[in-house]
Amino acid sequence: MPKIVVSFLEEAKVGAYVAPLAAGGLGPGDLFLASPARTAEVDLVEVIAEADGLLLSGGDDLQPCLYRQARRRDARLDPPSAERDQMEWDLLAFAAARRLPVLGICRGLQLLDVFFGGTLYQDIEIQTGFRGHDCFLRDGFALDHFAHDVEAVEVDHPFAERLRRHGRFRVNSRHHQAVQELAEELIPIAVSPDGLIEALAHAGTDWWLRAVEWHPENLTADHPVHLELYADFLEAADRFAASHATKVNR
């Protein structure tokens, strides 16, 4: 089985991200759960060197300084988590160097855009007037509450082709930030009815890197489109592991 690094902040929430990986056959020995507290005495280079995939989970807001913006006083921003921002930035930099398969979820999507030079709306409603993306935070809906539709865009990419098979489909949503300017190395894969980017991928053909703004970890059990996200990620990690093993054994 491949080795997967899962980044997170809160211990109480990481289980939801791990469960679909465990359902795909990964055991405790196949996972490294990376949080600032757990990695304080760990060499992240060594962790990534042994990994076959990186999952960037959801959570708190990125610091606006990372995308060259001042912190808006009117935005509902979380307290900054500089330790998490730095840890995940380092993990992603090391993953990029190895072309490690990467799956980003919610904050993970936003981190990918920022890492490659894009920017974010610090507060969707304040800056665009769009509502309905943070209904869990605002109205207290369940984690699996369907908030809005998502539809793949017409681009030539395997991820878009995968999502187009399902037509328009419903997703849960609990984010008040989103991609404002998409980084040049990334391409939009799916959008919400108001035009916000809900899924993206790396534009290159040599790197499996995909991300979604919704939370498939809360939807995988009964919804194939969301389960496929994890299945494709594990398949990519398997291919990476096999390719790496072949090169090492030569």
- Cβ atoms 172, 212 nearer than 8 A: no
Give 132-138's long-range contacts (Cβ < 8 A, gap of 24+): 132/173, 132/194, 133/173, 133/174, 133/175, 133/176, 133/178, 133/192, 133/196, 133/213, 134/173, 134/174, 134/175, 134/176, 135/173, 135/174, 136/172, 136/173, 136/174, 137/174, 137/176
Give the pLDDT score at 249.
47
- Residue 26 in tokens: 């990964």
Give the pLDDT score at 28.
93
Q: Pairing relation of β-strands 148-152 and 186-191? A: antiparallel
- Residue 38 in tokens: 């757990």
Give mean pLDDT, residues 147-159.
95
d(CA 226, CA 25): 17
Q: What is the percent of the chain with per-residue pLDDT over 70, rounded to a whole number?
A: 96
Give the confidence band of 250 by pLDDT, cuts at 50, 70, 90: very low
Give the pLDDT score at 247.
54
- Full set of structural domains in the chain with CATH: 4-249 (3.40.50.880)
Whole-prediction pTM? 0.95
Per-residue pLDDT tens digits for 11-52: 999 999 999 999 999 999 999 999 999 998 999 999 999 999
Q: Is the pLDDT score of 232 beyond 60? A: yes
Give the pLDDT score at 246.
54
Q: Is the pLDDT score of 4 beyond 80? A: yes
Average pLDDT, the chain: 92
What angle do helix axes 224-249 and 11-23 make, rounded to 10 degrees? 80
